[in-house]
Amino acid sequence: MKTKLCLICKKVPVEKKAPYWPFCSERCKLIDLGKWASGQYAIAGEEIKKESEEEDDAVKPPHS
């Protein structure tokens, strides 16, 4: 079976059957989750307007 290094600590080889795969431990899994939650990771795409911005756009008069 192939093993890869943990995506966070890069020290411990992790097998696909490991309980926290692709991480070596719950700690590394939670570090990764924290990076997503804090915005350190992002998926490229179009920016989504917030509802308040859409309402502001609807209220503004057209430019002359």
In this predicted model, what pLDDT tens digit does every residue of 4-62 receive, in sequence order? Answer: 999 999 998 999 999 999 999 999 999 999 999 999 998 888 888 777 765 666 666 66
What was the pLDDT predicted at 2? 73
What was the pLDDT predicted at 56? 60
What was the pLDDT predicted at 35? 96
Domains contained in the chain, CATH given? 1-38 (3.30.50.10)
What was the pLDDT predicted at 3? 78
C-alpha 43: how far from its chain's center?
Answer: 7
User: Is residue 64 pLDDT above 60, yes or no?
Assistant: no
